[in-house]
Amino acid sequence: MLSRHAQGVLLGLAGVACALVAWTLLSRWLAIGGGAINRLPPPWRVGAEILAYARGELLVDLLHSLRVFALGWLVGAVCATMLGLLLGRVKALGQVFIPVIEAIRPVSSIAWVPLSVVWFGFGLTSKVFLVGLAVFLVVIVYAVDGARRIPPELDRTATMLGMRGAQRFFQVVLPGTLTEVLIGSRVSLMAGWGTVIVAELVAADSGLGAHLIAVQQSYNVPAVMATMAYFGVTGFAMNALFSVAERRLTPWVPRGEDTR
């Protein structure tokens, strides 16, 4: 009798194997006469490309993309935190400007790509702007929420302890806001990473996205799929790293299942 865990692993492997077999059969079948999709390489050719890319330019491209991502993410999160504190704590400002931000939010950062290229050209600045905007638009909601909703019992305790002014801000309001900002930052990870991809595809001068466009233009389907795999792996790794960091930084927040 297998344990439940072993059973899960075996079934998972079976599922992956089934998917690979289906992919191989599909690539065979499409090679004969697949119509539109006549270029589906079998899995091992994609695997060979994944290894070849890792030995080649991968590190350079990946570092370019990650630099854009990290800079944009930092800029977006810091701006959102400061503005969120201001709009969340100063009621009049909040009432005036939060609706304006709410009106801008439906225009996703992706829709800003052409304008950003007009403003900043094809270089680093325009990509950092776009990623920063993507992160900002997500995190601002959490920051305003965190700054506004200080739990009433904490508020009363602070009053009882005689906290006021700066002390109250640094001991009660700021930690409360930052906890929410951290959640928002994790939610915005994928939005930011997706924006890096689109920005690099459009303004293809460096990074994984530029590599993707380059191999696409030489009709190298296995290399295209290998690059996509690296995008997925990087996104997954960032998500996993951040979840661990979040648990370390805010151990007091109750976490059931993954909330995303």
Partner 1 sequence: MTNPRLRAVLLPLVGAALVVAIWQATVVLYQLPMVVLPTPWSVVKTLVALPGTAMFWRDVGVSVFEFGAGYALGMILGIAVGTLMGEWRLFRMAATPVIESLRFIVPFAWIPLTILWFGTSYVGKIALVTYAVFFVMVVSTARAVLHVDPLLSRVGRVMGMGAWQLAWSVHLRAAAPTIASAARAAAAVGWIAVVAAEYIGASAGLGLMITNAASSLATPAVIAGMIVIGLIGAGVSAVVGWITRTHLDY
C-alpha R_g of the chain? 23
Residue 42 contacts residue 225 (beta carbons within 8 Å): no
Q: Which of 18, 21, 54, 161 binds partner 1 (CB under 8 A)?
A: 18
Q: Which is nearer to partner 1, 118 or 160 (CB)?
A: 118
Q: How far apart are CA 214 and CA 209, in angstroms?
A: 9
Dihedral sign of CA atoms 156, 162, 164, 168 in order: negative
Of 85, 128, 212, 226, the one binding partner 1 (CB under 8 A) is 212
Rounded to 5°, the CA angle 190-180-113 comes to 35
For partner 1, the closer of residues 39 and 168 by Cβ is 39
AA letter at 225: M
Provide the token pair at 28: 């065979």
**Residue among 228, 241, 230, 144 at smallest CA distance from 186:** 241
How far apart are the C-alpha atoms of 87 and 216, rounded to whole Å? 45
Cα torsion for 230, 235, 238, 240, to the nearest 10°?
Answer: -110
Q: Does 224 bind partner 1 (CB under 8 A)?
A: yes
Region from 41-49, 56-64, 171-179, 222-230 binding partner 1, contact rule CB under 8 A: 222-230
In the stretch 188-207, what mask flags binding to partner 1 with x, by CB under 8 A? --x--xx--xx--xx-----
Please, which residue, 1 or 103, has the CB nearer to partner 1?
Answer: 103
User: Does residue 47 touch partner 1 according to CB under 8 A?
Assistant: no
Q: Does 19 bind partner 1 (CB under 8 A)?
A: yes
Cβ pair 125, 68 in contact under 8 A: no
User: In the bound complex, what is the minimum distance in angstroms from residue 168's beta carbon to partner 1?
Assistant: 26
With respect to partner 1, which residue has the nearer C-beta, 177 or 227? Answer: 227
Kindly state whether residue 213 participates in binding partner 1, applying the rule CB under 8 A.
yes
At 100 the three-state DSSP class reads: helix
Judged by CB under 8 A, the chain residues 99 through 118 that form the site for partner 1 are 99-100, 103-104, 106-108, 110-115, 117-118
| Residue (of 136, 254, 252) closest to 187 by Cα position | 136
The nearest distance, CB 233 to partner 1, in angstroms, is 7
Contact residues toward partner 1 (CB under 8 A) are: 7-8, 11-16, 18-19, 36-37, 39, 92, 95-100, 103-104, 106-108, 110-115, 117-119, 190, 193-194, 197-198, 201-202, 212-213, 216, 219, 221, 224-225, 227-229, 231-233, 235-236, 239
